[in-house]
Structure 1
Amino acid sequence: MPSTFLKALSPFVRIMPEVKQPDRDVSFREKFVWTAIVLIIFLIMSHMPLFGVDKDVGTDYLWAMRVILASTRGTLMELGIGPIVTAGLVMQLLQGSKIINVDFGDPEDRALFTGGQKVIAMFMTAFQAIAYIVGNAYGPLGPDAALIVFAQLFISGIVIILMDELVQKGWGLGSGVSLFIMTNVAGQVLYNSLNFIELEQFAPIGYMGSTPGNITPTNLPKGIIAAIIGNILRTFGIGTATGDPVDATWLIVRNGYDPSILSLVITFIIFSAVIWMESVRVEIPLQYARFRGMKARYPIKLLYTSNIPVILAQALYANILFFGQIIWGTFNADGNNPFLSWIGIFRRDEETGRMIAESGLARYITPPQGIFSILSEGDGWLHIIIYSALMILLCWGFSKIWVDISGIAPRDVSRQLLNSGYIVPGFRRSEKVLERLLERYIPVVAGLGGFLIGILAAAADVMGALASGTGILLMVSIIKQYYEQIAKEQLAGMGGEGVAGLLGIL
């Protein structure tokens, strides 16, 4: 029976707009077209400014998490995927702590759980939109302007929820959340690599007579690849009107903040590490019961829960930072409340409009902006230790919980394998026997994978990359997932009873 909490959400579930499950096999080409349409709409929304606001006025509350949340300041994608991911986080915590009881083997319970998550995402969209307006994210707004801004943010949030549902329910490839994150991070990587519009305003001492008190900027592009190309051209006398060639060693680190060769190398290291971790797996031998000669393997990947733990951990960080800023500005601007000060004390950077956490929990969960930035802080090492420890612990915990609620626990996999006609050679055709076999591997691999992905995410953020370190990690793992998804779709096109059954559970 559904819990009281889910029953309370059921009236809202019934009136929520819904994307119907496809009642036929959707071809790969059609899935590709729908995915492309969703992506185009997302990109349009990411560049369409909110009517009635000036993005250069007010406070940027989500600056540290925009890449992860697929959010763009001052546009219809202001809230990004934050409400969706937060709703998933809330439902995970409620189910994992047994506050709500859900039988995921019961289709009614599973459908109500999924629908309830969508309802909470809608509520979170409305709540965050109101918090943005009340927190003067766009400066003081009159009643009419506030209503218009709220309507834009709320409707945009509903559109994002429905686009994610459209992709997830089988009309597209992968999931909408993953698609949006990948696109946003990839755009940031390309921008930091090829940005030739903004010019570097720093230079090494001695460059064209530069002294500590009188710097002559290199005027090289800020994008690292564009800067390397520009410097090579200057060596051959092209483009020297804006400055002389700079010593190549300067580009290794630059000023410690602009994209550099070091951040490019770190990006490739993260890329390689994720690809390697995605390839490590334990394989369970399978045999098709009806055709004894047909064999297969069920892979239990090291990253069994993929990038979900990182997304949920970052969502938790983002919500603490967001609401911490709102609470501080509304109730504790003078810093006299010790409990609220424990959450965080902030200062506003007038030049960028960002709220910078100076103390409290918010200070230590703010993602590091690279090793040189964090070591320039007085408590940089403490920041690294606390941020990394919390990230690793959260990723491990979310990985363990996700296995139980997402249909990939041993009991679910054993049922799916048997229903698909597969058995493990040497074992009886019994769900309990197969479940005990899988319990030797899945919980251990899921916990270890969550632990390792937490270490990699923390290291990536601390060292710095061409975008958020965690963002790079997510982008690479999502690209790998799409590659595997496309391969599965092409294999499914080959047909065959056993192939179709196995692909349904991989």
Structure 2
Amino acid sequence: MSLKDSLEPIFNKLPAVASPEGHVHFKNKLMWTLGILVLYFALANVPLFGLSADSIDLFESYRAFFAGASGSLMLLGIGPIVTASIVLQLLVGADVIKLDMSNPSDQAFFQGAQKFMVFVMIVLEALPQIAGGYIQPDAALAATLGVNTGVITFIIFIQICIGGVLVLFMDEVVSKWGIGSGVGLFIVAGVSQQIVTGLFNWTSDTSGLPTGFFPKWIYILQNVEADFLFSGDGIMFMLVSGGILALVSTVVIFLLVVYVESTRIEIPLAHSAVRGARGKFPVKLIYASVLPMILVRALQANIQMVGLLLSSKGITFLGEFSGSTPINGLMYYLAPIHSPYDWIPSLVRESFTSYGAPVPAAWQIILHVFVDATFLIAGGIVFALFWIETTGMGAKPTAKKIFNSGMQIPGFRRNIGSIEKVMIRYIPKVTVIGGAFIGFLTLVASLLGTLGGAGGTGLLLTVSIVYRLYEDIASEQMMEMHPMVRSFFGQE
């Protein structure tokens, strides 16, 4: 008996959201999606019972695309889902687990394995934070209740696990009953909230300036001399501290992603039975979407977590940390770039002085940027290729889908092999180019920074997900008006 045959009965018994028996009407899908979104915001505002204010958020820098909320039930966010996906995609891509993703049976096994792995990752991401002392129990509450702090710690652990499981099933509800995916929906919700905060928040930051862009400039115009603003230091102040660079970056990235999302190669199709019925199959430049960027950043986040946990135990050969920020060693070079404070020498000096750590030399800063660029571009290509194979977007599954819909490519025989040969000409190449391009775009956005500290990756993901959500809504409305279109999408 193979390992697959042994594990399949276990995966089949895992709790799951029931799939709809027939077509779910657009209005119902919209209601499910909005309902889960409201539930997400509600859970993100439910604080963990017994959590001490001295606790440290290990993933603070990654909140934009982990879609979590510090100190709440949503502490882990989509982290376990993404990490499970990374592990399985690497195992399948390296042929450690041999699966044919065009086979429905293997697809079902992959989905079952991914769900099982998510449960494992929920525990593995929660335990180190507790064992490392980053998530701390409230000693005063323990004394009031007359219990040991270990009891409060266990209660916190259970709450975190419950939150992680809720995110998994909320994602499943959206995927089966709603529009798009829950993972994408939660990212959009979190980043949008950060951008709105970055525009209108009146709360002062550590420099004494209001956090929001508009309140900040009202304060600057009222309190800062014009002579200073137009000096060399003043221009740097306006660009970075004043948020102009972040605003320009946010707008440019938004426009670029919308343009790139609309850039595509269209392969002509004709219906084999209905003369004159023609269509096109679009192969987008960002064919694998920008979701592989989550996998790249999540991989970096997990590497940083390992370094941070070792550092907390006095093992510093990988690097030392100030809070959750690496300040030297290998971990410094492997850390993602988040803003100009990570690569502009004067701003890096300012940051490291506040940490009380030695300031990196110019060559170290350049190497840090180079390593992050390599991670994003090479990782974007690798994970984009894995992504299309594990989600049924590769040449073979796509050819089968087109064939089953009754369509064919004019000038070629009507069989799956002929369609697949045409798809092989385009899909792998476009996937590689798109993966590299989206990695480069993420790097640029990360270097320039964004409004609200959402980060280049978070902004990029949000714009792309919203654009694709708009397309999904348009296609759902089309299927409502033309039920025959559902056959192409494999729906009843």
* Fold agreement, TM-score > 0.5: yes
Q: Please tell me whether residue 261 in structure 1 is matched to residue 244 in structure 2.
A: yes
Q: 162, 174, 179: which one pairs with 2:185? A: 179
In structure 2, the residue matched to 1:411 is: 396
In 2 relative to 1, CA 356–199 (structure 1 residues): closer, same or farther, beyond 3 Å?
closer
Q: Please tell me whether residue 364 in structure 1 is matched to residue 333 in structure 2.
A: yes
Letter in 1 for 2:330: L
Q: Please tell me whether residue 225 in structure 1 is matched to residue 231 in structure 2.
A: no
In structure 2, the residue matched to 1:48 is: 46
In 2 relative to 1, CA 252–428 (structure 1 residues): closer, same or farther, beyond 3 Å?
farther
Q: 328, 345, 359: which one pairs with 2:319? A: 345
In structure 2, the residue matched to 1:453 is: 438
Q: Please tell me whether residue 162 in structure 1 is matched to residue 159 in structure 2.
A: no
Residues 291-300 or 222-231, more deviating: 222-231
Letter in 2 for 1:136: G
Q: Give the unaligned 5+ runs of structure 2.
A: 139-148, 349-359
Aligned positions of 1:255-404 closer than 5 A: 258=241, 260-330=243-313, 333=314, 335=316, 341=317, 344-348=318-322, 354-376=323-345, 377=348, 378=360, 379-404=364-389
Distance 2:490 2:422 in 1: 20
Q: CA deviation at 1:437?
A: 0.9
Letter in 1 for 2:60: W
Q: Give the unaligned 5+ runs of structure 1.
A: 202-218, 235-242, 336-340, 349-353
- Say which SS state the counterpart of residue 285 (structure 1) adopts: strand
In structure 1, the residue matched to 2:125 is: 128
Q: CA deviation at 1:383?
A: 1.0
Q: Please tell me whether residue 32 in structure 1 is matched to residue 30 in structure 2.
A: yes
> 1:104, 1:110 within 8 Å by CA — same for their partners in 2?
yes
Q: CA deviation at 1:391?
A: 1.2
- Say which SS state the counterpart of residue 275 (structure 1) adopts: helix
Aligned positions of 1:191-202 closer than 5 A: 191-198=197-204, 201=207
> 1:257, 1:373 within 8 Å by CA — same for their partners in 2?
no
Q: CA deviation at 1:59?
A: 2.6
- Say which SS state the counterpart of residue 296 (structure 1) adopts: strand
Distance 2:450 2:236 in 1: 12
Distance 2:20 2:27 in 1: 15
Distance 1:252 1:417 in 2: 56
In 2 relative to 1, CA 432–199 (structure 1 residues): closer, same or farther, beyond 3 Å?
closer
In structure 2, the residue matched to 1:489 is: 476
Distance 1:69 1:452 in 2: 22
Q: How many residue pairs align between the two structures?
A: 460
In 2 relative to 1, CA 172–432 (structure 1 residues): closer, same or farther, beyond 3 Å?
same
In 2 relative to 1, CA 253–148 (structure 1 residues): closer, same or farther, beyond 3 Å?
same
Q: Please tell me whether residue 431 in structure 1 is matched to residue 416 in structure 2.
A: yes
Aligned positions of 1:59-74 closer than 5 A: 59-74=56-71
Letter in 2 for 1:364: Y
* Same amino acid, percent of matched pairs: 35
> 2:102, 2:396 within 8 Å by CA — same for their partners in 1?
no
Distance 1:200 1:127 in 2: 34
In structure 2, the residue matched to 1:462 is: 447
In structure 2, the residue matched to 1:473 is: 460
Distance 2:428 2:342 in 1: 38
Q: CA deviation at 1:277?
A: 1.1
Distance 1:84 1:373 in 2: 28
Q: CA deviation at 1:107?
A: 2.2
- Say which SS state the counterpart of residue 67 (structure 1) adopts: helix
In 2 relative to 1, CA 429–374 (structure 1 residues): closer, same or farther, beyond 3 Å?
same
Distance 2:205 2:160 in 1: 34
Of Structure 1 and Structure 2, which has the larger fraction of its residues in helix? 2
- Say which SS state the counterpart of residue 184 (structure 1) adopts: helix
Q: CA deviation at 1:492?
A: 0.9
Letter in 2 for 1:227: K
RMSD: 2.2
Q: Once the two structures are superposed, what CA deviation does each residue of 1:392-446 show, in whole Å capped at 9, x if it has no partner?
A: 1101111112222211111111111010010111111011111111110000000
> 1:287, 1:422 within 8 Å by CA — same for their partners in 2?
yes
In structure 2, the residue matched to 1:237 is: none
Distance 1:318 1:8 in 2: 33
> 1:257, 1:370 within 8 Å by CA — same for their partners in 2?
no
In 2 relative to 1, CA 38–306 (structure 1 residues): closer, same or farther, beyond 3 Å?
same
In structure 1, the residue matched to 2:142 is: none
Letter in 1 for 2:25: S
Letter in 1 for 2:184: S
Q: CA deviation at 1:355?
A: 2.1
Q: CA deviation at 1:381?
A: 1.5
In 2 relative to 1, CA 111–52 (structure 1 residues): closer, same or farther, beyond 3 Å?
same
In structure 1, the residue matched to 2:486 is: 500
